[in-house]
A and B are shown apart, each in its own frame.
Chain A
Amino acid sequence: MGVITAISTWLIPSFLLIVLITATWKKIPAYELFVEGGKEGVKLAFSLLPFLVGMLVSISILRSSGALEALINFISPLLMLIGVPPDIVPLALVRPISGNAALGVTSELIATHGPDSFIGRLASTMQGSTDTTLYILTVYFGAVGIKKMRYAVKVGLLADLVGIIVSIIIVTLIFG
């Protein structure tokens, strides 16, 4: 773990150093380029804003109304039939929709069941093994103004489903 943390902390400054040394060597106006590139960043952040407001508001309506919880309670028995532990169902449903909510659910599961319990390990693996599909599609397609996403949503959500099933199988095999 120590080595990995070290790599992660050293990576960005080292990359920065390489870029700047190369720029000096090639006599490139680094500062002007930085500012030029940075300007795009400002524009980008503002063009993303409406996409994020729209998506987060819609998700929060579903959550705050209690409908998401009701949906989870409704689906749980069905999932239990195929061997999904009921405690993990909320996480599985929330993971592709909201990264923050999923992190909240994971922390809660770890807090109540303990990090070294079956549920704790399963929640950890599930949280770590996929990314927030809806957020990624919103941000990336929104940023470049793509209106027709075609089959992207289907691929993303089906891959999430595979990730969830695989997590359950792997954790059962290794720690079960």
Chain B
Amino acid sequence: MVNVIWMFMAIVGIVYAMFNGTMEEVNKALFESANEAVKLSIGLISILVFWLGIMKIAEEAGILKVLTRLLRPVVVRIFPEIPKDHPALGYILSNFTANIFGLGNAATPLGIKAMEQMKELSGTDTASRSMITFLAINTAGLTIIPTTIISIRMQYHSVSPTEIVGTTIIATGISLISALLLDRFFYYRSTRRKK
């Protein structure tokens, strides 16, 4: 499906530009955005190196295990496929924690680590059930305090920059629950189809 979306965006854009005289902009944007993507990836190096380095120590020191043990009852229910003592749970939890506190920088490397562990469990290049559940939670978002938005509101002299925290939490919560329900629904549909 990403294949379809990817090709759709590019093809529609180029065909539209043919008839609307925006080919020059498209041509320019092509290389600018490629450049932008490379910068983004290079920028990720520092964060990835730092966090994967620290988490390696944390894993070795047994800190991930402690974290997993504390929150295990909840997570085991969300991820029934992952064995109870598997390090994947530790990384999943650290990713959630980082997300909740709005530390997007830290969340990405931890999430990738969690995905790696889940891939080891499944051993194929097909997304496993746990991976999809994990990403469903991530795409729905876990932010409690939307720091970026608050700072933008401050810049534009809001009387109460944080007044949207409440509505954001409710909206996040409901979309999170629906992401989990949708995930379950599509999972059971896919197992039924196999039979």
Contacts and interface: CB of A to CB of B under 8 A. Distances in A.
Interface in A133-176: 133-134, 136-141, 143-156, 158-160, 162-163, 166-167, 170-171, 174-175
Interface string B1-43: 1100111011011101100101001101110111011101110
A81 interface: no
B141 interface: yes
Contact of B139 (A37, A53, A128, A131): A131
**How many of chain A's residues touch chain B, expressed as a range?**
35 or more
A160 B53 CA distance: 33
B15 to A, nearest CB: 8
A121 B164 contact: yes
Nearest to B31: A57
A41 to B, nearest CB: 3
A19 B135 CA distance: 27
Nearest to A97: B9
A110 B159 CA distance: 13
Contact of B159 (A63, A116, A130): A116
Interface of B: 1-2, 5-7, 9-10, 12-14, 16-17, 20, 22, 25-26, 28-30, 32-34, 36-38, 40-42, 44-45, 47-58, 60-63, 101-103, 106, 108-109, 111-112, 115-116, 119, 125-127, 131-132, 135-136, 138-141, 143, 145-150, 152-153, 156-164, 166-168, 170-172, 174-176, 178-179, 182-183, 186-187, 189-190
14 contacts: A22-B62, A41-B48, A44-B112, A48-B41, A52-B41, A56-B40, A60-B36, A64-B28, A125-B164, A129-B143, A134-B2, A156-B179, A159-B140, A163-B140
Interface of A: 1, 4-5, 7-8, 11-12, 15-16, 18-20, 22-23, 26, 28, 30, 33-42, 44-46, 48-49, 52-68, 70, 96, 103, 106-107, 110-111, 114-116, 120-121, 124-134, 136-141, 143-156, 158-160, 162-163, 166-167, 170-171, 174-175
